[in-house]
Structure 1
Amino acid sequence: MIFNFESDFAGSLRCIPMVARQKLDLCGVKLSLRQWSRFSREDRESLTTLSAESAEERGSYRDLVLSLIAAKTDEPPKFLPSESFEGWTAPDRMPEAVIRQAGTDGVSPPTSAQWAALAPLQRFALIKLANSKHENENFVPAMREFGVLT
């Protein structure tokens, strides 16, 4: 699934779509945009569409990512620290980063009910966008797309 707010850059798979970023986080691999760009279109489509829900699927996904990095890039793999995914898997607690980013953008954050009603991938996207170290132009469009901004 490619969100509308990312379709201009992720639809072509030249950037890593949120659905793939979530799977990479789940399997603990940090993939750079440079590495992603070295993969074939088919490789990128696979990383976007393959499931990583079960522990077995996450292991297979991780193995695939590591093999692609080894075969197609001249960079070693980087791993993410083991972390909790409560921010996007817990519908009852909105992370402070989302509230802070909404304030920075001059919009109201999602209400508790709206946050709880979001799909895990939507919560993941808002958290990633709120924690982005780059200028964040997609946070408000994502909120609007997810129906939490009136």
Structure 2
Amino acid sequence: MGLYDAARLFGFEVESSDNLRFIPLAVRFNLDRFGMRITLDQWQQLPYDDRVLLARFPVEDEAELEKNFDLALEEMMKTHANVAPEKIERDPDPVWAHADAVPETVIRQSSLCGLSAPSLSLWGKLDRFQRYALAKLSRNTDKVNHDFLPAMREFGLAE
């Protein structure tokens, strides 16, 4: 598999990403996977075409392309923001990687939205990128994430 033909966005992200003004989940996924962090301001300093390119990198395991995401991002950041992406520690065992347990944060965010949490069987049927998205959207357990309910609907977990 090569780069996607277009930016990889979930349906619920199309409106909320505001034409890639915000960092899409596909890019966040690869940032987390490579142990990199950039700020929203740094993201917005990148030209639109560079943001599209970064959002076209696959979210599947692909050894040949994976190493190119970090190199591309580093070059773009140096060129357009005059900084390198921050290096962070990678989570060796992220909660979303497990299809056999619904994360507590997802259960709490579901409750905040007035939803039942996904059943274990439905959680297990999600692909890892969908599980990543729900886990990422449910990090703050004190308030409702505006994309959580639309994501649950898109993934067939809510009406």
How high is the TM-score relative to the length of structure 1?
0.89
In structure 2, which of residues 3, 16, 20 is the aligned counterpart of residue 9 of structure 1? Answer: 16
Query: Structure 1 unaligned runs (5+)?
Result: none
The separation in 2 between residues aligned to 1:92 and 1:83, in whole angstroms, is 18
Say whether residues 1:43 and 2:50 are aligned partners: yes
1:55-88 superposed Cα distances (whole Å, 9 cap, x missing partner): 4422221111111111111444212212124422
Q: Which runs of 5+ in 2 are unaligned?
A: 1-7
Q: Which amino acid aligns with 1:104?
A: L
Q: What percent identity do the matched residue pairs reach?
A: 32
Decide which moves more: 33-42 or 51-60: 51-60
The TM-score with structure 2 as length reference comes to 0.85
How much does 1:46 deviate? Answer: 0.8
User: CA 1:43–1:132 in structure 2 vs 1: closer, same or farther (change >3 Å)?
Assistant: farther
Aligned to 1:72: 80
1:91 maps to which residue?
Answer: 99
User: Is structure 2 residue 120 aligned with structure 1 residue 138?
Assistant: no
Corresponding residue for residue 148 of structure 1:
157
CA RMSD of aligned residues (A): 1.9
Tell whether the 8 Å contact from 2:109 to 2:144 is kept in structure 1 after alignment. no
> Structure 1: which 4+ aligned runs deviate by more than 6 Å?
none
Determine helix, strand or coil for the equivalent of 2:122. helix
User: Number of residues paired by the alignment?
Assistant: 150
SS of 1:147's partner is: coil
Question: Can you list the C-alpha shifts for 1:86-106, whole angstroms capped at 9, x where unaligned?
Answer: 422221121111011111222
Structure with the higher fraction of residues in helix conformation: 1
